[in-house]
Structure 1
Amino acid sequence: MNYTYILECNDKSLYTGWTNHLEDRINAHNNGKGAKYTKGKLPVKLVYFETFTTKEEAMRREYEIKQLSRSQKLQLIQSSTNKNIHKGEYTNEEK
């Protein structure tokens, strides 16, 4: 399974990425081994993700989401109703 996800950083900024192991990727971000952008904004919280069959689909969706404004991303997070789109509150501290 492949995922496109949105994280909320400690400073309330949003980060969008894709992965094929969502839980591992969130843990990597929170352990300072994720993207450079998130390293100084820990902890991060998973607030949204979508699932895809192929990495190409996930990467395409990541690009689409990155083109959205912050307000459009927040609207996407708040209004998701598709069964393949999930809102979450996962951080590695909750395990």
Structure 2
Amino acid sequence: MAKSDAHYFYVLQCKDGSYYGGYTTDVARREAEHNAGIRCKYTRNRRPVHVIHCECFATRSEATKAEAAFKKLPRAKKDSYLQENKE
């Protein structure tokens, strides 16, 4: 199995309007896992979810630092961050 050189920080919007930030090497696979109820209790009861933001990083460390920083933000600052970083 080939290792991915890309590391992603992604944000999902859940059915209830909440956000979920995560890390992965394959965004499409991870979104499908969330929607199937696999490996994440938070999103399991908030399906369907969809990716609203994604950033690519060279290392896992950078991506997980971005994830941790996002998760620490209050909701209003998460909204601002997502608005400022629209793709």
Secondary structure of the 2:20 match is: strand
Counterpart of 2:50 in structure 1: which amino acid?
K
> 1:1-95, aligned counterparts within 5 Å?
1-80=6-85, 86=87
TM-score, length basis structure 2:
0.88
Q: CA RMSD in A?
A: 1.1
Q: Matched residues in 1 for 2:9 and 2:84: separation?
A: 16
Runs (4+) of structure 1 exceeding 6 A deviation are: none
Secondary structure of the 1:57 match is: helix
Shift of 1:6: 0.8
Q: Matched residues in 1 for 2:40 and 2:80: separation?
A: 24
Shift of 1:58: 0.6
Shift of 1:52: 0.3
Structure 2 unaligned segments of length 5 or more: list them: 1-5
Secondary structure of the 1:25 match is: helix
Shift of 1:49: 1.2
Between the two proteins, the alignment pairs up a number of residues equal to 82
Output one character per residue of 1:64-89: Cα deviation in whole Å (capped at 9) or x when no partner.
111111111111111116xxxx4xxx
